Amino acid sequence: MEVCFFLFAYGDGTGNARAPVDPWLLEAASREIQGLTRCVIHLPVELPDSDPLSKNHTSSPCCALQCYFDDLGLLEAALQTGGAMHRIVDRMANAAGTNLTFAQQVMAVRPFATPSPVDTNPRAERCTYLVSYEGEADDFNAWLTHYITHHPPLMAQLPGIRELEIYTRLDFRSGLTIPRAVAMQRNKVVFDTPEALVAALAAPIRAHMKQDFNAFPPYSGATPHFPMRSIYGNLKPT
Give pLDDT tens digits for 83-110: 888 888 887 777 665 578 899 999 999 9
For residue 88, which phi and psi values (nearest 5 degrees)?
-65, -45
Residue ranges covered by each domain of the chain = 3-232
Name, in order, each residue with C-beta under 8 angstroms of 27's C-beta and a sequence gap of 6 or more: 39, 41, 231, 233, 234, 235
pLDDT band per the 50, 70, 90 thresholds, residue 111: very high
pLDDT band per the 50, 70, 90 thresholds, residue 28: low
According to CATH, the topology of domain 3-232 is Alpha-Beta Plaits (3.30.70)
User: pLDDT value at position 96?
Assistant: 60
- Give the percent of the chain with pLDDT over 90: 61
User: pLDDT value at position 85?
Assistant: 86
What crossing angle do the helices spanning 140-155 and 205-214 adopt, rounded to 10°? 170
Residues, the chain? 238
Compute the mean pLDDT over every residue in the chain, rounded to the nearest whole number: 86
- pTM here is 0.90
Name, in order, each residue with C-beta under 8 angstroms of 197's C-beta and a sequence gap of 6 or more: 47, 127, 129, 160, 191, 227
